[in-house]
């Protein structure tokens, strides 16, 4: 499968789960700059893949030095449980690369003192519990980092992790963190850690990325935790619906967006036609483009409840 198609598929599978902005942690590709790429991307950042990975990605020290302090610098760190993984934070600090803009991905091998050092430096961690459990049989304790506002939630490759960020939220909820804390880790806390001032919140002047879900009652954030992607009523990016339930058709029309009918995990949806590349749709399990005769038949099987708003940027 061509790289460009795989990247578009990666963007679409995130959008289907309500994710509207993604941090790419691989070499940049021209496809990511296309006007109709499914999601927005973090653009002002630096990165190195991992300590010791000299053949892939920018070198650690030079990439850190080239990253402005106002921009995040990301690296996989302590993705293991052995002595090598446990020593990686010390090594990163020795190299002069542990600072307020440092974002550590995984951090499983870090101990309590390591976590306190991360917080003291103003650095942060991206927690990927499903991948950690699958590959290592354990993950980090998220509580201290979460309480300090220094924790974001990420999902690794489907090969080793959850299907999408919604499933990752469900897995993360087993930690006992409250729904509003979990939601913050994929919205406001995440946006702050990645230095994205206009994302992660609903406010005047903020990017108009909004997720609409059914109101399950109780705490608003609880209506998102436990959702699957087919449960989502609408995903709005830049103020326009991109995928939504069929009764949002007038909104698509008012926004001037042509749609195609699709079936997502058995539920009918309308998808922005610019995102409906057949080569991309074919790669996504559970996503099927419908014929003109099929939408009415599928819609007849689904009823809708009241909705509540929530942002998932």
pLDDT over 70 for what percent of the chain?
Answer: 93
Tell me the pLDDT band of 137, cut-offs 50, 70 and 90: very high
Each domain of the chain, given as residue ranges in start order, spans 43-193, 210-310
Region of residue 137 (phi > 0: left; psi between -120 and 50: alpha; otherwise: beta): left
* 8 A C-beta contact, residue 11 and residue 37: yes
pLDDT digits (tens, 9 = 90+) for 178-196: 999 999 999 999 999 999 9
Residue 213 phi, psi (nearest 5):
-130, 165
* Distance from C-alpha of 197 to C-alpha of 17, rounded to nearest angstrom: 22
Distance from CA of residue 281 to its chain's centroid? 20
Question: Which is higher by pLDDT, 230 or 157?
Answer: 230
Task: Please give the pLDDT value at position 310.
Answer: 32
Residue 307 phi, psi (nearest 5):
-120, 160
Angle at 278 between CA 5 and CA 31, to 5 degrees: 25
pLDDT digits (tens, 9 = 90+) for 55-104: 899 999 999 999 999 999 999 999 999 999 999 999 999 999 999 999 99
Label residue 220 exposed, middle or buried (CB < 10 Å: 0-12, 13-18, 19+).
middle
Helix (H) or strand (E) holding 135: helix 129-136
Q: Is it the case that residue 27 has pLDDT exceeding 80? A: yes
Count of alpha carbons within 13 angstroms of residue 23, beta-carbon side:
29
pLDDT digits (tens, 9 = 90+) for 250-309: 999 999 999 999 999 999 999 999 999 999 999 999 999 998 655 545 544 443 333 232
Q: Is it the case that residue 241 has pLDDT exceeding 80? A: yes
What is the rounded average pLDDT for all residues in the chain? 93
Superfamily of domain covering 43-193: Metal-dependent hydrolases (3.20.20.140)
């Amino acid at each position: 499968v061509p790289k460009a198609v795989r990247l578009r598929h990666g963007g679409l599978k995130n959008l289907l789960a309500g994710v509207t902005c993604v941090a790419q942690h691989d070499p940049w590709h021209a496809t990511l700059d296309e006007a109709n790429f499914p999601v927005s991307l973090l653009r002002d950042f630096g990165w190195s893949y991992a300590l010791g990975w000299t053949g892939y990605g920018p070198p650690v020290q030079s990439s850190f030095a080239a990253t402005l302090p106002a921009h995040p610098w990301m690296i996989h760190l302590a993705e293991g449980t052995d002595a090598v993984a446990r020593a990686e934070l010390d090594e990163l600090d020795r190299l002069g690369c542990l600072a307020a803009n440092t974002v550590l991905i995984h951090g499983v091998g870090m101990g309590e003192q390591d976590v306190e050092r991360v917080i003291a430096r103003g650095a942060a961690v991206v927690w990927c519990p499903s991948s950690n459990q699958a590959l290592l049989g354990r993950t980090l304790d998220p509580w201290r980092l979460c309480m300090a506002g220094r924790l974001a939630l990420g999902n690794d490759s489907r090969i080793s992790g959850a299907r999408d960020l919604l499933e990752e939220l469900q897995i993360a909820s087993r930690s006992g963190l409250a729904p509003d804390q979990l939601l913050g880790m994929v919205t406001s806390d995440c946006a702050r850690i990645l230095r994205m001032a206009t994302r992660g919140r609903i406010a005047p002047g903020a990017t108009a990325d909004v997720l609409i879900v059914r109101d399950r009652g109780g705490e608003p954030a609880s209506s998102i935790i436990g959702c699957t992607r087919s449960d989502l009523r609408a995903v709005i990016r830049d103020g326009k619906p991109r995928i939504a339930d069929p009764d949002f058709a007038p909104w698509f029309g008012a926004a001037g967006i042509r749609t195609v009918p699709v079936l997502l995990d058995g539920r009918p949806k309308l998808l922005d036609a610019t995102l409906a590349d057949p080569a991309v749709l074919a790669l996504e399990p559970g996503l099927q483009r419908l014929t003109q005769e099929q939408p009415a038949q599928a819609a007849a099987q689904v009823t809708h409840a009241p909705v509540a708003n929530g942002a998932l940027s």
